[in-house]
Structure 1
Amino acid sequence: MQPVTARSAVLFLLIASAAFAVSGPFARAARPVHPLVIAAGRVALAALVLGLVNARAMRRALPTLTPRQRAHVFGAGALLAAHFALFQWGLDRTSLPAALSLVALEPLAVVVWAWVLFGIRPTRPEQLGLSLATIGALVVARGAGSGEHRVEGDLLVLGAVVLYGAYVAAARGIRDALPAHAYAAFVYTGASLSLLLALPLIPGALATASPLPQHAAVYILLLALIPTLIGHTAVQWAARRMSPSIVALVSTGETLGGITVGALWLGTIPNPSEIAGGLFILAGTTLAILASRGTESPSSA
């Protein structure tokens, strides 16, 4: 891994955190479009751009993959699709501060999946971080029933967090078979196809997109360009040059930035339980990722 300067690390964290911070607020602003339409739209647009940019690399890489590797890539795309769907759905069913606080658990989900699948046991600081973050999640859940905060939405976001850990584990399992840019293009293509196939199965989802409100189209486009393309591109670039601990700090920046943007722009002020639980989650996550021995955990929202 090439050494990087403190200035480069700070610049990366500012850019990536800012890109991911607008994800939740933009998705809320796209209402009343169904959350699955928002998820499908942002991923499909991102897949289109990535496919066009990486068409030559994808054509070269596809014949080199075995049937098992192709199934692996499609499975990773399906996991990413389910992650986006649950996150957008959960965001729609609970308060913005609660959803963004729970998203900060994503690096810890990566730690747990690495333990389960690859036997990479968490260190004691990581275990302490997991404990603090779990307490924080329970405290956040106690705020349910106040304003827009609902347990149903919290559980959907937690499901998205768990699936994100599985998605990163899947990426780890095939990282040597494809270049990063080609892999990302294939995975986003698989994710967009999965979401587009699921749309007709969700009652009432397509009705909210026919016709698609102009404001929703703008925010879906912005979601595809800023958090999905710019944010993930920055993380993929950093993952090859910076320590995983620095890359994982984007999740903390995403939570703090998203809550701040939501409060200033949408007026979504966190209640006391959300503030207290969010602080526990951020403390636990920061402790765990700073103590990380190399678990990869880029942000996703």
Structure 2
Amino acid sequence: MEKPVVHPLIPIIIGVFSVALSAIFVKMTSADSGVTAFYRMLFSVLLMSPVFFMKYTQEIKKLSKKDWAFTSIAGIFLAFHFILWFESLNYTSVASSTVLVTLQPLFAFAGTYFFFKEKLSVKTLVSGAIAVLGSVLIGYGDFKISGSALYGDILALIACALITGYLLFGQDVRQRLSLITYTFVVYSFSTITLFFYIIAKGESFGPYPASEWMWFLLLAIIPNLLGHTLFNWSLKWVSTNVISIAILFEPVGAAILAYFILGELLSSSQIIGGTVVLCGIILFVADYGKIKSFFFRKRG
């Protein structure tokens, strides 16, 4: 396998900071969850189209039936991830939602073990368990606040499982497809899925004020084309586990932004739970040898 032009950790870090803005942008919109997700993906596809059609259309012919199946499933998973996560933000806080939706190690560890036979060290399992404990503390605090907050937490957790599935399918396909082709096809399937979802739900495609279109466009450019695309690029060289752990830093940035921009205060359970989650991340990062083995891994 060829070496990447930069260490994969660099684009992963940039991607984490980019997706941290997603919850803020969503909170600023007034459109239905499905509509917000649809325009986020549609604008992403439209912005990618010139590059794709100029240089990458021939690669479409190389897609096998397996590649088409995996990319379509990844696109559907991504669509419903956005629907459920955006909906969760209507019931719970940015801090709680982003912590739970990025709690991917629980699902990523199981997925990479069963589908890619990646071995998990005891320290990796312990770090994941600590992060899960942190999310439980957050959910418990929200339950005491209101049942609707807990409902939002549950939606965020399901969205977490879906985004992990999306990354797992991408981890396989990205070994054979270029970043642009894979991302364009996945985003296209996601857009089509969301289009039919909106029709089925009877939601409105518009009209919306100019401010709404600005948030839709920002969602496409920063969290999607910068954040998720960098994650997809990294999947050629790193395990889904590495990205899942790194994304756990997103709630920190999102919570800080929500405090200054939206005026959302942090409860004691959110602070304690978030701290526990970060402890799990630090334990994983401290296991440098394990992380190093995830990078530039050989394909059997």
TM-score (norm 2): 0.85
SS of equivalent to 2:176: coil
1:41-65 Cα deviation digits (max 9, x unpaired): 1011112212322124442012222
Aligned residue in 2 for 1:231? 227
Aligned residue in 2 for 1:183? 182
Aligned residue in 2 for 1:66? 64
Gapped regions of structure 2 (runs ≥ 5): 296-300
When residues 4 and 73 of structure 1 are mapped into structure 2, their CA distance, relative to the original with a 3 A threshold, is closer
**Is 2:195 aligned against 1:196?**
yes
Q: Is the 8 A contact 2:15 2:227 kept in 1?
A: yes
Gapped regions of structure 1 (runs ≥ 5): 297-301
Q: 118-127 or 266-275: which moved more?
A: 118-127
C-alpha deviation, 1:141, in angstroms: 0.7
Q: 237-246 or 279-288: which moved more?
A: 237-246
For residues 287 and 264 of structure 1, the distance between their equivalents in structure 2, rounded to whole angstroms, comes to 29
1:81-121 Cα deviation digits (max 9, x unpaired): 12121111112221111011113312443222112323323
Question: Which of 44, 47, 59 matches 1:46?
Answer: 44
For 1:279, the aligned partner's letter is T
SS of equivalent to 1:143: helix
Q: 178-187 or 83-92: which moved more?
A: 83-92
For residues 46 and 58 of structure 1, the distance between their equivalents in structure 2, rounded to whole angstroms, comes to 16
For residues 286 and 55 of structure 2, the distance between their equivalents in structure 1, rounded to whole angstroms, comes to 35
When residues 28 and 108 of structure 1 are mapped into structure 2, their CA distance, relative to the original with a 3 A threshold, is same
**Is 2:262 aligned against 1:266?**
yes
When residues 3 and 47 of structure 1 are mapped into structure 2, their CA distance, relative to the original with a 3 A threshold, is closer
Q: Is the 8 A contact 2:41 2:187 kept in 1?
A: yes
SS of equivalent to 2:68: helix
For residues 213 and 228 of structure 2, the distance between their equivalents in structure 1, rounded to whole angstroms, comes to 21
Q: Is the 8 A contact 1:13 1:253 kept in 2?
A: no
Question: Which of 93, 96, 110 matches 1:95?
Answer: 93
When residues 12 and 2 of structure 1 are mapped into structure 2, their CA distance, relative to the original with a 3 A threshold, is closer
Q: Is the 8 A contact 1:93 1:149 kept in 2?
A: yes
C-alpha deviation, 1:240, in angstroms: 5.7
For 1:101, the aligned partner's letter is V
- Match runs of 1:12-51 below 5 Å: 12=11, 15-31=14-30, 33-51=31-49
**Is 2:135 aligned against 1:137?**
yes
C-alpha deviation, 1:253, in angstroms: 3.5
C-alpha deviation, 1:259, in angstroms: 0.7
When residues 240 and 288 of structure 1 are mapped into structure 2, their CA distance, relative to the original with a 3 A threshold, is same
1:11-53 Cα deviation digits (max 9, x unpaired): 656643332221101100112x111111111011112212322
Q: How many residues align?
A: 289
For 1:222, the aligned partner's letter is L
**Is 2:279 aligned against 1:280?**
no
For residues 140 and 190 of structure 1, the distance between their equivalents in structure 2, rounded to whole angstroms, comes to 33
**Is 2:70 aligned against 1:86?**
no
Q: Is the 8 A contact 1:110 1:295 kept in 2?
A: no
When residues 95 and 26 of structure 1 are mapped into structure 2, their CA distance, relative to the original with a 3 A threshold, is same
For 2:45, the aligned partner's letter is A
Question: Percent identity, aligned pairs only?
Answer: 24
Q: Is the 8 A contact 1:136 1:276 kept in 2?
A: yes
1:158-180 Cα deviation digits (max 9, x unpaired): 11111111111111222233112
Q: Is the 8 A contact 2:124 2:284 kept in 1?
A: yes
For residues 159 and 60 of structure 2, the distance between their equivalents in structure 1, rounded to whole angstroms, comes to 29
Q: Is the 8 A contact 2:137 2:272 kept in 1?
A: yes
Aligned residue in 2 for 1:172? 171
Q: Is the 8 A contact 2:113 2:119 kept in 1?
A: yes
Report the RMSD for the aligned CA atoms in angstroms. Answer: 2.8
